[in-house]
Amino acid sequence: MLSACSKLKDLEWGKHIFKYINGGIVERNLILENVLIDMFAACGEMDEAQSVFDNMKNRDVISWTSIVTGFANIGQIDLARKYFDQIPERDYVSWTAMIDGYLRMNRFIEALALFREMQMSNVKPDEFTMVSILTACAHLGALELGEWVKTCIDKNSNKNDSFVGNALVDMYFKCGNVRKAKKVFKEMYQKDKFTWTTMIVGLAINGHGEEALAMFSNMIEASVTPDEITYIGVLCACMVDKGKSFFTNMTMQHGIKPTVTHYGCMVDLLGCVGCLEEALEVIVNMPVKPNSIVWGSP
């Protein structure tokens, strides 16, 4: 029941069960208290989670990791690190939880530094750790480290599914290596919506507009439904006439409601070819409030 409350983030029911447990009807043990911490942490109630943690007679790595994850999820990353540093014996899950916390706060350098500590501790990372490090490499443009991570993935036989493949493709594109991004994509056995979208956006932002649009056609032919992010890549890859057509099809064919980013792409397309009056008309008639990026596009 507590696990269900955690997944649903149902704090009301979670507190009801917690009260039932405190009534002495159910004997508390390590497993039950760990799930209590996880439930409160998942619901953002870190005072309650910390209270359970502080009153535990015994703790294991799961107890500590749940506290670290909970504080990281609400943005208290330094407090999360304080608890992380106190863990008596860390496993790959606790290391990955802390690394992911840094990623969520855009503290990529610290995420990479922690990964180096993990290596020195001789804790073997799993595919989730590797994806986190590839994400940090992508944001920092750290191609050399990203290449090393790929070598580790190949060498250690980490699960190389679409989850890992997508991170590799994204890393290569953000580091400007289009050739290797395309190579990873070609070698992937499983391709999901995020794989195709990563390719389309990556090709578009690296100046390969025609290839991005061809990739979009292949995505549709493969019966994979695009989402709003896919269409951002498509619109970035277009010239004006095609952009107008895709912008219409986004809603008519796939039921995607345009966001301020999509309108911004259209304004940028029109502005680049000197259609300033039409660009202004798009801004004025937008159903959402234009931001500074939209106004700055023309």
Tokens of 62: 């799961």
Per-residue pLDDT of the chain (298 residues; tens, 9 = 90+): 999 999 999 999 999 999 888 887 788 899 999 999 999 999 999 999 999 999 999 999 999 999 999 999 999 999 999 999 999 999 999 999 999 999 999 999 999 999 999 999 999 888 889 999 999 999 999 999 999 888 888 877 655 578 899 999 999 999 999 999 999 999 998 899 999 999 999 999 999 999 999 999 999 999 999 999 999 999 999 888 888 899 888 999 999 998 888 988 888 888 877 787 887 887 888 887 877 776 766 5
pLDDT of residue 271: 81
CA–CA distance, 153 with 168 (Å, rounded to integer): 10
How many other C-beta atoms lie within 10 A of the C-beta of residue 153? 21
How many alpha carbons lie under 13 Å from residue 65 in its C-beta half-sphere? 15
pLDDT of residue 298: 55
Tokens of 56: 């535990």
Tokens of 251: 């809603």
The pTM for the full model equals 0.83
How many other C-beta atoms lie within 10 A of the C-beta of residue 40? 28
pLDDT of residue 157: 61
